[in-house]
Amino acid sequence: MFEASELNIRNRKIESLFRILFLLMAGLLILPVAIILAILTYKGSSVISMNFLFTSPTEGMTAGGIFPALIGTIWLVSVALLFSVPLGVAAAIYLSEYARDNWFTRIINLAIINLAGVPSIVHALFGVGAFVLFFRFGTCILAASLTLGIMTLPVVIVSTWNALQAVPMAFREACWNMGATKWQTIRKIVLPNSISGILTGIILMVSQTAGETAPIMFTGAAFFLPQLPQSVFDQTMAMSLHLFVLATQVPGVPEDVPYGVAFVLIALVLVMNSLSIAFRVYLRGRKKW
Amino acid sequence: MIAEKEMTNAVETIGLNLWYGTFQALTDVNIQVKKGIITSLIGPSGCGKSTLLRSINRINERLGYVRVEGAIKVLDENIYARDVEPVQLRKQVGMVFQRPNPLPLSIRENILFGHKIHTPSSLKVSRSEANDIVEKALRQVLLWDKVKDRLKHRAISLSLEEQQKLCIARLLPVKPQVLLMDEPCSALDPKGTEAVEELIWDLRGQFTILIVTHNMAQARRASDECAFMLLGELIEHETTEEIFVTPRHRKTADYIEGRFG
């Protein structure tokens, strides 16, 4: 009475076929990541040493280390964060908690979508026009970081917005009905319960920022600058640009040095990400619903 | 007798019309909710019971596309007057929801939340003062003995019945006069329903309670007066006994006897 019919058997086969197909597709995602990491580790790890990490490049960048670029990238990312996190989080809070669905809100949303779609080289040119020339910052960390910050704003806004929206409406209603203002509700309930999601957005932003090359190329990153930046008004070397330069512009660089630079860049991003993820997990553990 | 002449209505609406956009949700509602008793609001889904409830603490206007005509008087003051501060209104008029919605905080912090938002941050509340507030509120909702040893636990760890009691308790520290309850038992099992009903009955006299319910039996056993609404209009408002025994309107009788809704 309950035996499988022809049709059942056929459907079961199709079912497993698709399951395997989708599994393969999803599994393929791991492949590029694994290959990249493997090659970088294989070819790059041999050049990694304290000396490589903590000295300046020498002999026309064919020898020595990457210290100025490493420090430069940290500068660029930090200043960009200082700019885009407060701005992006504030904008997301407005859109999620205050904005009503009207033409103004729709224009803001449209602007965010478009901002996300602008190619990075266009951001670079905008950065030159706005920060380097118009505001007369010159080519410096500030101009480069502001350019990076603007470029990553959509990531921060969208992920923060999603995190805020994930906080159940019932909590807000409970607060409002007790007479809490929107700000009291946001500060005491919404933000504490969405902070882990907001951090996710910031992690994404850090990764993207550290690796970007085009936006900093004309705005503040230098080809070769052995001394460290002293303030945001100095130029600086950066890992991503340094990698580009070593790989394409400088003759006589030993083959494994660019791999080493890439390895350090990725390691830097991974370390920053892991820290944020650890922080996130810690915060999520304290989540109370 | 003199007391009778004083304010007898805690809530009164006068020619209340309310629109959501172009949809009229309330039509010329005139209701007098007497002070200190329990009034139940019954009627089929979409009849405007919840809308009426949500206008009484002006939470409706958060939606933005709500338009109101007429007046609502709470404790004899028109709440749509220009100098009314919604925050002060909501302090006097507490709301309890269908699904218990304790805040994602500890039991203790849930009770103190309302108190905190209505106290200037410069005014430090001492620990012992806070403890008193928490104990008093929890005792009022008959929850103290059950939770006194786990005040630091998350509110969400309580059973639904206890959560709902907590949601009532957290309104009390700011000393509201009116409690609005939107189907407060409909997410609870029969035992929880009984317990919360008992509590509501226990609070009778201290607060004016207006309770929306779908449960005829509940309206009948747990309210002094009962109002029947249909399609945004108030059809009948009598003592509960009269409504259930000798309803004046045919529609009321039909609804109570389960012929529609």
The verdict on A56 and A185 lying in the same domain is yes
Top pLDDT among A134 and B217 is at A134
Q: Do B62 and A176 touch (CB under 8 A)?
A: yes
The verdict on A60 and A26 lying in the same domain is no
Q: Is residue B137 part of a domain?
A: yes
In this structure, which amino acid lies at residue A273?
N
**B143-168 tens-digit pLDDT:** 899 998 999 998 988 999 999 999 99
The verdict on A40 and A143 lying in the same domain is no
Please check the confidence at residue A289 and state whether its pLDDT lies above 60: no
The verdict on A28 and A54 lying in the same domain is no
The verdict on A38 and A95 lying in the same domain is no
Host H or E run for residue A206: helix A195-211
A188: which chain B residues are within 8 Å (Cβ-Cβ)? Answer: 113, 117
The verdict on A30 and A122 lying in the same domain is no
The pLDDT value given to residue A56 = 83
In contact, A80 and A145? CB cutoff 8 Å: yes
B95: which chain A residues are within 8 Å (Cβ-Cβ)? Answer: 177
Q: How confident is the model at residue B3 (pLDDT cuts 50, 70, 90)?
A: very low
Q: How confident is the model at residue A3 (pLDDT cuts 50, 70, 90)?
A: confident
Residues 97..156 of B with a Cβ closer than 8 Å to A: which?
A: 97, 99, 101-106, 113-114, 117-118, 154-156
Q: Is residue B80 part of a domain?
A: yes
CATH number for position B18? 3.40.50.300
Interface of A with B (CB under 8 A): 100, 170-171, 173-181, 184, 188-189, 192-193, 287-289
How far is B140 from chain A, CA to nearest CA, in Å? 18
Nearest one of B38, B35, B168 to B95, comparing CA atoms:
B168
Cα separation, A183 vs A190, in Å, equals: 9
At B102, give phi and psi (nearest 5°).
-60, 150
Domains in chain B, number: 1
The verdict on A126 and A179 lying in the same domain is yes
Q: Is residue A1 part of a domain?
A: no
- Domain residues for A16? 6-44
Q: Is residue A67 part of a domain?
A: yes
Host H or E run for residue A106: helix A103-117
Nearest one of B175, B181, B141, B188 to B39, comparing CA atoms:
B181
- Domain residues for B88? 2-256
Q: Is residue B261 part of a domain?
A: no
CATH number for position A222? 1.10.3720.10
**Partner residue opposite A178 with nearest CB, options B104, B114, B155:** B114
Top pLDDT among B200 and A279 is at B200
The reply to whether B88 touches chain A by the CB within 8 Å rule is yes
**A122-131 tens-digit pLDDT:** 999 999 999 9
Please check the confidence at residue B105 and state whether its pLDDT lies above 70: yes
Name the residue of chain B whose CA is nearest to A169's CA: B101
Tell me the DSSP string of chain B: -HHHHS--EEEEEEEEEEEETTEEEEEEE--EEETTSEEEEE-STTSSHHHHHHHHTT-GGGGSSEEEEEEEEETTEETTSTT--HHHHHHHEEEE-SS----SSBHHHHHHHHHHHTS-TTSPPPHHHHHHHHHHHHHHTT-HHHHGGGTTSBGGGS-HHHHHHHHHHTTGGG--SEEEEESTTTTS-HHHHHHHHHHHHHHBTTBEEEEE-S-HHHHHHS-SEEEEEETTEEEEEEEHHHHHHS-SSHHHHHHHTTS--
The residue to which tokens 């786990």 are assigned: B150
Q: Do A171 and B99 touch (CB under 8 A)?
A: no
Q: Do A179 and B114 touch (CB under 8 A)?
A: yes
The verdict on A57 and A31 lying in the same domain is no
Please check the confidence at residue B96 and state whether its pLDDT lies above 60: yes
Q: Do A288 and B154 touch (CB under 8 A)?
A: yes
Name the residue of chain B whose CA is nearest to A100's CA: B64
The verdict on A57 and A171 lying in the same domain is yes
Question: Mean of the pLDDT values across residues A35-44?
Answer: 90
Q: Is residue B221 part of a domain?
A: yes
The verdict on A104 and A230 lying in the same domain is yes
Domains in chain A, number: 2
The pLDDT value given to residue A86 = 95
A181: which chain B residues are within 8 Å (Cβ-Cβ)? Answer: 87, 117
How far is A189 from chain B, CA to nearest CA, in Å? 7
**A65-119 tens-digit pLDDT:** 889 999 999 999 999 999 999 999 999 999 999 998 889 999 999 999 999 899 9
Q: Is residue A209 part of a domain?
A: yes
Q: Is residue A179 part of a domain?
A: yes
The residue to which tokens 């035992």 are assigned: B191
The verdict on A20 and A53 lying in the same domain is no
